[in-house]
Amino acid sequence: MKYKNNIFVKTVVLMCIFFMTINPNVVFANNSKHNLNDDLQKDNKKVIYLTFDDGPSKLTDKFLDILKENNVKATFFLIGNQIEDNEQVVKRIYSEGHSIGLHTYSHKYRKIYRNGDSFIDEMNKSNEIIKRVTGKESHLIRFPGGSRKHLNKRFLEKLHNNKFKIYDWNIQAPDGINPKIPPYKLVKEATKDPDKHNPVILLMHCDYMHKNTCTALPQVISYYKSHGYEFEPITENTDEVYFPIKTNKASSFLEKLFKN
């Protein structure tokens, strides 16, 4: 009888877990110390970190012209294999006071996300090139596509052991989905509900395809300036900000339940 009761209890638990998994918010918990659900800016200062992915390219110079005209500093997460033909652009990014981050060497998902070591090797390879060009290395990293599907506690610890700091985003212009989206739509999305986030970490792109992003940029800058935001580059001292780490509580619970 005791054995049957035990089987019944386990069956009920399994059924509950099955239905809980239909809603990921029930099963998964946030284990991130600095994540995009946290309010990192505790004072009244309104800050925006303007960030650009997928450079450098010939078009990046036009982005730099706009930033210079508006006296704004930004952060560029660069792809290592694009630097060789654009070294002067990288030198300009650095000399004009912008921050440089790592966005892997190849940006090829199958390669960089093969395993943790492959990801770190890509970042290190890109870092070596940036150090050669600018004389300074960087530990600021951004996952291609964001960290959401790739970051767990063990990998986070490994990245920290390699001195890397992660920066995702909380607002984005959808130019990464389609670079041909009209500028007015990019402006609309890039300025959508910024009061929900402080600091704002805005994701845009600056490779050769993103002419519409370049057109939209002055309006984006004007909007945030008119709403009292200060533009700052991400530095080694900036608190890292990444998407919540999702841990499946059901797995550890089942392990304990059925270990005997």
Tokens of 125: 């390879």
Who's near 21: CB < 8 A, 6+ residues apart? 27, 250
What does the pLDDT read at residue 260?
A: 39
Q: For the packed helices 60-69 and 211-226, what is the interaxial angle rounded to 10 degrees? A: 20
CATH architecture under which domain 32-244 falls: Alpha-Beta Barrel (3.20)
Q: In the chain, where are the structural domains located?
A: 2-29+249-257, 32-244
pLDDT of residue 172: 97
How do residues 42-94 score in pLDDT, each as one tens digit?
Answer: 568 999 999 999 999 999 999 999 999 999 999 999 999 999 999 999 999 99
| pLDDT value, residue 257 | 38
Q: What pLDDT shows up at residue 25? A: 33
Low-confidence ranges of the chain (pLDDT < 50): 2-4, 9-10, 12-33, 39, 250-260
Q: Where are the alpha helices (DSSP H) in the chain?
A: 2-20, 24-27, 60-69, 87-95, 109-112, 116-134, 153-161, 183-190, 211-226, 249-257
Please identify which of the residues 53, 168, 175, 207 carries the catalytic annotation.
Answer: 53
Tens digit of each residue's pLDDT (9 = 90 or more) over 107-117: 999 999 999 99
pLDDT for 9 equals 47
DSSP state of 167: B
Q: Is 53 a catalytic site residue?
A: yes
Q: How many CA atoms lie within 13 A of 52 on its CB side?
A: 28
Out of 103, 107, 197, 205, which one is annotated catalytic?
Answer: 205
Strand, helix or coil for residue 101: strand
- Cα 26 from Cα 11, distance rounded (Å): 19
